[in-house]
Structure 1
Amino acid sequence: MTTDYQAAREALGARLREIRFSAPGGRLTGTQLAERYGWHKSKISRLENGRQTPTPEDLRLWADACGQPDTYAELLAKLQGFESHIRSWRRQLAAGHRHVQDAHNAAQANSTVLRAWESSWVVGVLQTPDYARAGLARSVERHRSPQDVEEAVRARMKRQELLYAGNRRYHVLLWEPVLRALVCPPSVLLAQLDRLMGVIGMDTVELGIVPLDAPIKQPPGVGFWIYDDSTVVTETWHAELWLDDAASVETYLRVWNALRESAVYGSEAQNLISAARRALTAR
């Protein structure tokens, strides 16, 4: 969790405490507030000290209990302000994967120069439906989220229309192990490799592959996207991060450019894909 995120959560907690202390009927104790809604009494302390992120419903109930329902809009705006940068998977996927895919579709549609680095799997905009289905099904298992895999697959496939619009450029870097990682059945990976082979040569896509044996100036690390050199999107196991401060974006740009120096393109990239394909069919 970032320092800025934690500071924002603590500031929200301090505001909750102010509201509780200034209840029109007199200061409401933490015990009284907890008993009103059947909360564990430690929840009040955790929220006020920034050790737990409240839900929108927590904020509404808090404002009502303290006799200040008009503060709910303010509290919700504070919550949304820092959660727009760190979006927990638990919250994002409460309604399934479809709306997450829609959010990425919108972000890419509103960008003209898109840079990506991926060290674990093929980026969504270049995936086949079966490859996407395998990855999304694993995500449903991991996060125990609603089963909307087919809707999510259709939304992710719709993103590929952007490849043919002609008004944006994708600069995608993949680490060679991505070509061999069995994150899906072998037959699905085989079709995915064929799809990547077909992408090479498109005027809207520059696909580079960093060979496993290439010297690299940066550790592979996690994958990320950079939209118009102004917004970075990356993810961890628990959350998705949307970063737009200049210092963070500049750091990711330096990493991307360093990795790009180790990438191969065109026929050399095709050779790596072909080698992965041969190894797969020889299994």
Structure 2
Amino acid sequence: MSTSPSSSVQQARQALADRLREIRMAASLTGTQLAAAAGWDRSKVSKLEHAVTSPSADDIRAWCRLCGVPDRADDLVAARHEADSLYLEWRRLHRSGLRRQQESRLPLYERTHGFRSYSSWLVPGLLQTRAYAACVLESIMRRDKLPDDLEAAVAARMERQRVLYESGRRFAFLVEESVLRSTVTDAETMAGQLDHLLVVPSLPAVSLGVIPAGVGRARWPVEGFWVFDDVQVNVELVSGYLTIRRPAEVAEYGRAFSDLAGMAVYGRDARALIAAAIEALG
């Protein structure tokens, strides 16, 4: 298993490794003794305890059995699965096509009441026009050589936007000004998308903030992320999709969002930046 670029993933794996080490030491076994009893190469115990490699479920069960605590194995195997599920490579996530990936996220949106979204490079999916979404998803499809289910994937993304109109929800969107001037689409599609951004904040549950390019920054631009209530954060990385559920880390993203929101402009000032981006399209 390769090491994730995310500290969240590595911390989860290291926490599991630390628990294995504590069990071995409580059993008064050296690494060499444990490896010999398990029939492993003597370096394997060290690699597992330093999270250089990830243990299999069988490794964990053998470890606990030889250390006299077989009843702890199930909990540790569950911890291993949790660490693995934090990070999904894009190709694995999309292997069934883009439509399936878009549809699979709908239940998360349906059970969430408070949404916070920050983007430094694309218009957030809930605010995308059909044409803009098609450009973005087609780019992913071509990049990752995925089956062509573009039309169905776009339809699924548009269907997800219905949550914007359902009562009992709140949406706070933040984008960097550079998002307004991105060239991910042709000029006509981008103009239509920017026109939509002028209108969508009129929805009673929607707030849209734009962080001006020249603003004094309390935080540098970071990776795009979504906060779902105070329960889960999803982060889009270059090589994968990260899910964070640890309360301390969810709270850290909440603080990051608050810092970024404090640098943004809203209402008339935000509309002026959007209008300037439209004018720049010619």
Once the two structures are superposed, residues 143-190 of structure 1 have per-residue CA deviations (whole angstroms, 9 ceiling, x without a partner) of 233322222111110111001112201000111110110111111101
What is the distance in 2 between the residues matched to 1:277 and 1:192? 10
Cα pair distance change 1:106/1:129, threshold 3 Å: same
Cα distance change of structure 1 residues 53 and 179 upon mapping to structure 2, 3 Å threshold:
farther
> Within 2, Cα distance between the matches of 1:224 and 1:136?
18
Quote the sequence identity (%). 32
Which residue is 1:120 aligned to?
Answer: 121
**Between 266-275 and 98-107, the greater mean CA deviation after superposition:** 98-107
Corresponding residue of 2:92: 91
Quote the residue 1:36 is aligned against: none
Aligned partner of residue 233 in structure 2, secondary structure? strand
2:252 is matched with which residue?
251
Task: Name the CA shift for 1:93/1:76 in 2 (closer, same or farther; >3 Å).
Answer: farther
1:111 shift after superposition: 0.7
Aligned to 1:223: 224
Partner of 1:81: 82
Map of 1:235 onto structure 2: 236
Check 1:154–1:53 CA distance in 2 against 1; reply closer, same or farther (3 A cut): farther
Q: Report the Cα distance in structure 2 between the residues aligned to 1:9 and 1:154, rounded to whole angstroms.
A: 41
Number of the residue aligned with 2:25: none
Gap change, CA 1:76 and 1:257, over 3 Å in 2: same
Change (3 A) 1:78 1:204: same
What SS is found at the alignment partner of 1:94? coil
Report the secondary structure of 1:219's partner residue: coil
Superposition map of 1:1-283 within 5 A: 1=4, 2=7, 3-7=10-14, 80-281=81-282
Letter of the structure 1 residue corresponding to residue 133 of structure 2: A
Superposed displacement of residue 103, structure 1: 3.0
How far does residue 196 in structure 1 lie from its aligned partner after superposition? 0.6
**1:79, CA displacement in angstroms?**
6.0
Q: Aligned-residue CA RMSD in angstroms?
A: 3.6
**Further displaced range: 176-185 or 79-88:** 79-88
Q: In structure 2, do the counterparts of structure 1 residues 174 and 192 end up closer, same or farther at CA, with 3 Å as the change threshold?
A: same
TM-score (norm 2): 0.76
Q: Where does residue 62 of structure 2 map in the other structure?
A: none
User: Are residues 158 and 197 of structure 1, via their aligned partners in 2, closer, same or farther at CA, if it must alter by over 3 Å?
Assistant: same
Unaligned runs of 5+ in 2: 22-33, 42-46, 59-73
Assess, with a 3 A threshold, how the Cα gap between structure 1 residues 161 and 247 changes in structure 2: closer, same or farther.
Answer: same
CA distance in 2, matches of 1:129, 1:76: 43
Secondary structure in 2 matching 1:139: helix
Partner secondary structure for residue 242 of structure 1:
strand
Contact 1:113 1:169 in 2 (8 A): yes
Distance in 2, Cα, partners of 1:53 & 1:133: 38
SS in 2 for 1:195: helix
| Structure 1: 5+ residue stretches without partners | 31-45, 61-72
2:102 is matched by which residue type in structure 1?
Q
